[in-house]
């Protein structure tokens, strides 16, 4: 489509009370700005992002997700405000849609509605019970007169509950005419993009208000808004995956991020936390397990297991209180209470309760490689780097020191037991009461 989309992302976002730029605050594991750019990219090949505050961080974060964006730096010291943000923008096409970068919930289908209207300016409006914080839209006889920011509004204007949602479709020539004429003579000393409306109206240009859904257009200005937007986004993600065939028990208790993918019929129990670029295929994730940036296929995990980044788990049973980090497990059973880090473990191997890979010597991390059909008794420590061949048995309580162990062995390290007769009575006396 021949449409340019400008996303304003240069502001500080002081209401967030954070050292981090507002648009970099995350919703479902991705920066909020990611979502509006994603929706914009679906319909435009000319997406322009205006940056200033923490521009290096904002640019770098978005370049991780997208290629081919145009970044424009606002001169925010001399020309602050949303109007200032538009001053260096050079759209490629005649139709220009402007979005605030703090609207992560906006969808492509809503953006498209702005383009169906031929007016010189189409602007988004929402009727709100509580309009505070937004610019108020002064409408008379169904026609928009101007937008007045809350800080500049009279008491009568503040009582208006039709607000500017912050999305506009302009013809390029309208911007070229009015942006250079903006002034900063207002309560905030800023150049307001919203002042274009009144100037255009005075020149008898056509301005069409477009009523939009609050849920998609709500600006995220505070940490309360951030949490609210995340709940809505997460609900969308959960519904999307349930529609695709995933079973979720008590879905509202499941935390799921944008990068998570499912294949086949998976079951996710209550309280699970699924993060990062994770793939879960034909698997069962039991209650209160945490999975980060990993691949899980044909496996069951948890309850209360922790799968940390870069793990690849296939055909495996992981039970409660098992932590796995950066490990590849293929057809393994690790039923209880273990730490498996920097390990490669092959099929048919059983990991006894309390098995620990000692992967770190305080300076470096080392690998543990375990072959096929190895039986590891409970409470075993594997001091890495260690390599165990196929068909090995390790007795319970063994500390397997670093090295290579060949196929067929029993490995055992145990302090011989001492039995001291009569000790209990000598120590506690005859009359010990329990």
Segment interacting with Ca ion (CB under 5 A) among 68-76, 214-222, 265-273, 372-380: 214-222
Instruction: Classify strands 136-140 and 143-148 as parallel, antiparallel or unpaired.
Output: antiparallel
**How far is the first Cα of the chain from the last one, in angstroms, to the nearest whole number?**
82
Task: Indicate if 53 belongs to the active site.
Answer: no
Burial of 180 per CB tally in 10 Å (0-12, 13-18, 19+): exposed
Backbone angles phi, psi at 424, to 5 degrees: -60, -50
DSSP annotation of 134: S
Q: Which two tokens stand for residue 266?
A: 């998976």
Tell me the Ramachandran region of residue 362: left when phi exceeds 0, alpha when psi lies from -120 to 50, beta otherwise. Answer: left
Binds ligand UD1 by CB under 6 A, chosen from 163, 205, 226, 332: 163
Whether residue 259 contacts residue 30, with contact meaning beta carbons closer than 8 Å, is answered with yes
> Within positions 122 to 151, which residues make up the interface with ligand UD1, using CB under 6 A?
134-135, 147, 149
Tell me if 39 contacts ligand UD1 by CB under 6 A.
Answer: no
* Residue with token string 């964006």: 69
Of residues 29 and 104, the one with the C-beta less far from ligand UD1: 104
Which residue has its beta carbon closest to ligand UD1?
A: 135
Residues in CB range of 1: below 8 A, 6 or more apart: 43, 44, 115
| Shortest distance (Å) from residue 72 CB to ligand UD1 | 10
Tell me if 207 contacts ligand UD1 by CB under 6 A.
Answer: no
Of residues 127 and 403, the one with the C-beta less far from ligand UD1: 127
Closest CA to 143 of 207, 195, 200, 205: 207
Tell me if 24 contacts ligand UD1 by CB under 6 A.
Answer: no
Tell me if 81 contacts ligand UD1 by CB under 6 A.
Answer: yes
Q: Which two tokens stand for residue 173?
A: 């020539």
Tell me if 9 contacts ligand UD1 by CB under 6 A.
Answer: yes
Work out the number of other CB atoms within 10 angstroms of the CB of residue 198: 18
Binds Ca ion by CB under 5 A, chosen from 219, 319, 352, 354: 219
Residues in CB range of 203: below 8 A, 6 or more apart: none
Taking the mean position of all CA atoms in its chain, how far away is CA 433?
58
Of residues 91 and 219, the one with the C-beta less far from Ca ion: 219
Task: Write the interaction track for ligand UD1 spanning residues 84-103; mark x where CB under 6 A is met and - where it is not.
Answer: xx--------------xxx-
Q: 403 - beta bridge partners?
A: 386
Tell me if 131 contacts Ca ion by CB under 5 A.
Answer: no
| Shortest distance (Å) from residue 170 CB to ligand UD1 | 13
Of residues 165 and 266, the one with the C-beta less far from ligand UD1: 165
Of residues 9 and 358, the one with the C-beta less far from ligand UD1: 9
Q: Which two tokens stand for residue 364?
A: 């470096």
Segment interacting with ligand UD1 (CB under 6 A) among 74-82, 115-123, 297-305, 384-392: 74-82
Q: Which residues bind ligand UD1 (CB under 6 A)?
A: 8-11, 23, 50, 74, 76, 80-82, 84-85, 100-102, 134-135, 147, 149, 163-166, 192-194, 219, 221
Which are the catalytic amino acids?
Answer: 336
């Amino acid at each position: 489509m021949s449409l340019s989309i400008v996303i304003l992302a240069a502001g500080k976002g002081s209401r967030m009370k954070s050292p981090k730029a507002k648009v970099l605050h995350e919703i479902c594991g991705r920066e909020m700005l990611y979502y509006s750019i994603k929706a914009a990219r679906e319909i435009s090949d000319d997406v322009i992002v205006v940056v200033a505050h923490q521009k290096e961080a904002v640019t770098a974060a978005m370049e991780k997700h997208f290629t081919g964006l145009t970044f424009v730096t606002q001169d925010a010291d001399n020309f602050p405000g949303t109007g200032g943000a538009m001053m260096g923008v050079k759209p490629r096409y005649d139709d220009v849609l402007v979005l605030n970068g703090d609207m992560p919930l906006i969808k492509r289908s809503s953006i498209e509605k702005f383009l169906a209207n031929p007016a010189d300016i189409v602007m988004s409006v929402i009727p709100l019970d509580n309009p505070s914080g937004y610019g108020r839209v002064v409408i008379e006889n169904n026609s928009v007169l101007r937008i007045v920011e809350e800080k500049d509004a009279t008491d009568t204007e503040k009582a208006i509950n039709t607000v500017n949602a912050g999305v506009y479709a302009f013809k390029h020539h309208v911007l070229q005419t009015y942006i250079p004429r903006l002034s900063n003579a207002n309560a905030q000393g800023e150049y307001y993009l919203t002042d274009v409306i009144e100037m255009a109206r005075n020149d008898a240009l056509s301005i069409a208000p477009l009523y939009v859904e609050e849920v998609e257009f709500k600006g995220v200005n505070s940490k309360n808004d951030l949490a609210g937007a995340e709940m809505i986004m997460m609900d969308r993600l959960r519904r999307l995956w349930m529609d695709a065939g995933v079973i979720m028990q008590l879905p509202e208790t499941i935390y799921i991020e944008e990068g998570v993918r499912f294949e086949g019929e998976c079951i996710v129990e209550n309280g699970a936390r699924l993060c990062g670029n994770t793939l879960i295929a034909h698997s069962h994730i039991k209650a209160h397990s945490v999975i980060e940036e990993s691949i899980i296929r044909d496996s069951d995990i948890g309850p209360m297991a922790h799968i940390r980044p870069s793990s690849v788990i296939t055909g495996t049973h992981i039970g409660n209180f098992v932590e796995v980090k950066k490990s590849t497990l293929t057809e393994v059973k690790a039923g209880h209470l273990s730490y498996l880090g920097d390990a490669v473990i092959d099929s048919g191997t059983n990991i006894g309760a309390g098995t620990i890979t000692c992967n770190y010597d305080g300076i470096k991390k080392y690998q543990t490689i375990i072959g096929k059909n190895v039986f590891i008794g409970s409470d075993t420590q594997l001091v890495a780097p260690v390599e165990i061949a196929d068909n090995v048995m390790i007795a319970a309580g063994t500390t397997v020191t670093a090295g290579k162990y060949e196929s067929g062995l029993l490995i055992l390290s145990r302090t011989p037991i001492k039995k001291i007769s009569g000790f209990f009575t000598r120590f506690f006396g005859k009359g010990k009461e329990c």
